[in-house]
Amino acid sequence: MNILITGAGRGIGKAITENLDGNIYVCGRNEERLKHFENYIVCDLTVYEDLEKLGSYIVQNNIDVLINNAGEYIYSPIEEVSIVQIEHIIKTNLEAPLYLIKKAVPYMKEKKWGRIINIGSISGVMGEAGASLYSASKSGLIGATKALALELAEYGITVNTINPGWVDTDMGNSSAAEGEFSKEEIIECIPQRRFVTPEEVAGMVKYLISDEAKGVTGQSINLCAGLTCGC
Active site residue 25: no
Contact 112, 158 (CB under 8 A): no
SS3 96: helix
Q: Of these residues, 40, 73, 134, 155, which one is catalytic?
A: 134
Query: Which segments of 75-227 are extended strands (E)?
Result: 114-119, 157-164, 220-223
Distance spanning both ends of the chain, measured CA to CA: 40
Residue 21's SS3 state is coil
Report angle CA 129, 169, 122 to the nearest 5 degrees.
Answer: 35
Catalytic residues: 134
